[in-house]
Amino acid sequence: MRFDFSTAAHIVFGPGTLAEVGELAAGLGRRPLVVTGADRLRATPLLEVLAGEDLHAVVFSVPGEPGIETIDAGARVAQEEACDQVIAIGGGAAIDTGKAIAALMTNEGQLIDHLEIIGKAEPLRMRPAPFTAIPTTAGTGAEVTRNSVITSTEHHVKVSLRSPLLMARVVVVDPLLTHGLPPAITATTGLDALTQLLEAFVCSRANPLTDGFCREGLARAGRSLRRAFSDGDDASAREDMSLAGLLSGMALANAGLGAVHGIAAPLGGMFPVPHGAVCAALLPGVVEMNLRALAERAPHNPAISRYREAASLLGSPQDDLAGWLRQLTADLGIPPLGAFGVDRKHLAHLADRAARTSSIKANPIELTRDELIEAVRAAL
């Protein structure tokens, strides 16, 4: 047994903890760049907290999923405004953008020089500017991961800026910030968390530390995702899902993922589809394919019993986890991939690109090209 583990330096969790950000940020600098999603009004409570500590914030909004141009623009704003720290508040897009901007504030060169696949994957040399992450959705876990997922419109692909130096200095998870989420976003982000917990639990690099996070997170998601979807003001359900999202990020950052995320990476670069919706649509078919391949080629693989345990934690029949997941995604209104323009003619190309991703390397069993194609076809 060998594994390593790292996470954010300081994590604060609980309802109302947004009020503590001002004091925490004051210890990191005096002029924060506040990175928000498209609706910058959602950052108003944070700006009021920062003003209470006499911190002079500069706001930078992210219109959608982070692209190279957006991150470059944010880094220029940080330089022109002499910002000395970054605080990202929002979903995964805002948080990933904030991480990358913080890295560019202290490291020379262009962003693409540090990107995997399309760039040179040059390591970051300098520690990024102090970075604080405040998620307003419950699912991506980006607040505690060591990579930033970035879209290249030129290359039609999503790639990562990856470094242990990207870990946030401070993470504040306030479940109250998720109460205003519409049901559709609750569903896609919640299913993203569930996918990450399940993939990290059954993957080939699972370890005793991440297993604990996955077990706790799966149980909470299983009992609360439907409730949070049905009643956005159910405080206990929102708290459960916020913790499930946090635990999913800690698990995936230290264990790995699997074929769902391996397929989602190229698919998200090719089509305008939210990451959580992609994962949700793919999950039942990938689980079904993994279990079939394991039964045929690796009947003694421990992932089989882990899938059964995960089913029990979620409240699913042990012998029909894929069917239970298919019903869950239907009940939460997840559209098939065909609704976003994905067609059978794209399947072979998607499978070939998925086979080269870093996420798929931790899948509990190596899937053939035909098996990957079939798993995606099931999501159409």
Give the pLDDT of residue 50.
98
Q: Which residues of the chain have pLDDT under 70?
A: none
pTM of the model: 0.96
Reported as a single tens digit per residue, the pLDDT across 60-98 is 999 888 889 999 999 999 999 999 999 999 999 999 999
- Cβ count within 10 A of residue 126: 11
Cα distances (Å, whole numbers) of residue 83 to 3, 87, 95, 135, 143:
37, 11, 17, 21, 21
Give the pLDDT of residue 109.
85
Give the pLDDT of residue 158.
80
> Quick one: residue 138, left, alpha or beta (phi over 0 = left, psi -120 to 50 = alpha)?
beta
What radius of gyration do the chain's Cα atoms show?
Answer: 20
CA distance 260 to 157: 16
Reported as a single tens digit per residue, the pLDDT across 5-32 is 999 999 999 999 999 999 999 999 999 9
Give the pLDDT of residue 119.
82
